[in-house]
Amino acid sequence: MTTITPEKIALISIYREKWREIGLSTQPIDRPQVTAAIHTAYNIIDFPTPEIIFCDRPRQLHFDLSEYETHSRFASAATCAILFEGFANGE
């Protein structure tokens, strides 16, 4: 294992704050960019790309997924990539 330099240790707090802000963001995601990233990831691992369901908030996901499961006998967490955006309403 390599030794972590003092410069890299100093960067830890910067990156921690960067990713905390990303994790707490309520800004909408770039759906085309996310879709492309998911397709790329699944192509790399040679898996078929799942159906991607975008929801504005977790509560909407519940209703959308329930409707999806009603119309598809193959619905499961393994076959859907589910992405949230806009938690600002606290739903």
The predicted pLDDT at position 59 comes to 73
Q: Is a pLDDT exceeding 70 seen at residue 18?
A: yes
Residue 38 lies in a domain: yes
Domain count, the chain: 1
How many whole angstroms from its chain centre is CA 11?
A: 25
Supply the pTM of this predicted model.
0.51
Residue 66 lies in a domain: yes
Check if the beta carbon of residue 50 is closer than 8 Å to that of residue 83: no
Closest listed residue to residue 56, CA positions, set 80, 22, 87: 87
Residue 22 lies in a domain: no
Residue 2 lies in a domain: no
Give the sign of the dihedral formed by CA 51, CA 36, CA 84, CA 17.
positive
> What pLDDT, in 10s, does the model give residues 51-83?
887 877 767 777 766 766 555 544 444 444 444
CA dist 64 and 87 (Å) reads: 16
Range(s) of the domain holding residue 34: 28-89
What are all long-range contacts of 16-22, with beta carbons under 8 Å and residues at least 24 apart? Answer: none
Residue 72 lies in a domain: yes
